Amino acid sequence: MINLAKINFANFGKRLFNSSFSGLLVSVALGFGSMPMITKVAYAQSRDIPPAELSSMMDQIEDFANDRNLQGLLGFYSRDFENSDGLRYSTLGDALVELWRRYPDLNYDIEILSWQMEGSQLVVETRTTLRGTEVLDGREFRLDSTMISRQYFRRQQQVKQEILSEDTQILSGDMPPEVTVNLPNTVRVSDRADFDVIVNEPLKQDLLLGAVLEDIATSNGYFDPSILELDALDAGGIFKQFIAPLIPDNRWLSAIIVQGNGMTIVTRRVRIIGVGFSDL
C-alpha cells in the first residue's frame, strides 16, 4: 500500500468517484410536470418519432436546467416523487443547488428511447449525456456521464424514476490514462462478474497507481466523504471480481487510475436482479 498516494475524498474523491449526481440531474431533466396531455391517439400516429408535445417539453426542461431555474424545475414534480436510489422531492432542491455549484458549466443532451401509456401513466425511457467541469484545489476535473432511465408520470407530474444504467468517466491532468471498462450492467443475485479497468497504453516510465471502490447506490451516498489509498498496479489495470449480494439491489463499482500527472475515474452502476427476472 502506498500511503503517500492517499486521497482524501472529503475534498474531491467520492463526489467525483460515484456518478449518482448524474441521476439527480437526469431526474430533473425528465420531469414533465406541466406538459400538455399526450393522448393515446398521438402514440398511435408514430412509434419512431416522439410526439410533438413530448419533444417540445424536453426542450423546455433543458432550458430550465441550463438556466439553473430551480423553482421551475421543482414545479415539475409530484411531492410523492422518489427514484430508485431513494431520492425524494424533499431533498431534491438542496441536491440540485450543490450539483450546480460544483459544475457551473454542466450541460446535457437527452434522447428519447421509448414511450408508452400504461393505464393512466406515461412511461418514458431516455438516454441522457452530461458534460461539465469542476475545479478543486486548482485542479480541473472533466465529467462525461451517460445514463439510461425510465420515468413514470401520473396526472402530468413525475412520480417515479428507475435508473437502468450509468457510465461515468472523469478525467484530470494533461494525459489522463485511456481505459477500457468491462462490466455487465445487470447481474443476478449471488452471481459473480468481472470488473476490469484496462489501461490501453500504459506509459512504461511512469508508475501506475489505482484503487477500486464498491458502494450501495443510494441517495445518502451522493456526497458522502470517504478515504481511499492507491496501490501500485503491475498488470496494466485493475482486475476485480464482483460478487452480487443475496438480494436485489443497485451497486456502484468505481475505479481510479493515476499515471504521472493524469487521472482517470470511472463508475458503473450494476443492477442486481432476482433469479426469475428476465431483464439481463
* pLDDT bracket for residue 279 (50, 70, 90): low
Side chain identity, residue 144 = D
C-alpha cell at 115: 414511450
- Domains of the chain in start order, with CATH, are 2-14+169-273 (2.60.40.730), 16-167 (3.10.450.50)
* Amino acid 199: pLDDT: 94
**Residue 52: pLDDT above 90?**
no
Pairwise pLDDT comparison (20 vs 75), residue with the higher score: 75
Which residue pairs from 218-222 have beta carbons closer than 8 angstroms and sit at least 24 positions apart in sequence?
218/85, 218/86, 219/20, 219/83, 219/85, 219/86, 219/87, 219/88, 219/91, 219/95, 220/86, 221/14, 221/18, 221/20, 221/252, 222/18, 222/20, 222/21, 222/24, 222/87, 222/95
Distances (CA, A) of 263 to 6, 208, 209: 14, 10, 9
What is the reported pLDDT for 40? 47
State the pLDDT at residue 167. Answer: 92
- CA of residue 162 relative to chain centroid, distance: 12
Is the confidence at residue 27, as pLDDT, over 70?
no
Q: Grid cell 451522493 — which residue?
A: 222
Whether 203 shows a pLDDT value over 80: the answer reads no
Q: CB count, 10 Å around CB of 104?
A: 11
Q: What is the pLDDT of residue 223?
A: 43
Q: Which amino acid is at 83?
A: N
Are 110 and 27 spatial neighbours (Cβ–Cβ below 8 Å)?
no
Q: Per-residue pLDDT for 191 more than 90?
A: yes
pTM above 0.85, yes or no: no
Residue 77 has pLDDT above 70, yes or no: yes
Pick 48 or 44 by higher pLDDT.
48
| CA quadruple 57, 58, 60, 64: dihedral sign | positive
- 256-268 pLDDT, tens digit each: 999 988 999 999 9
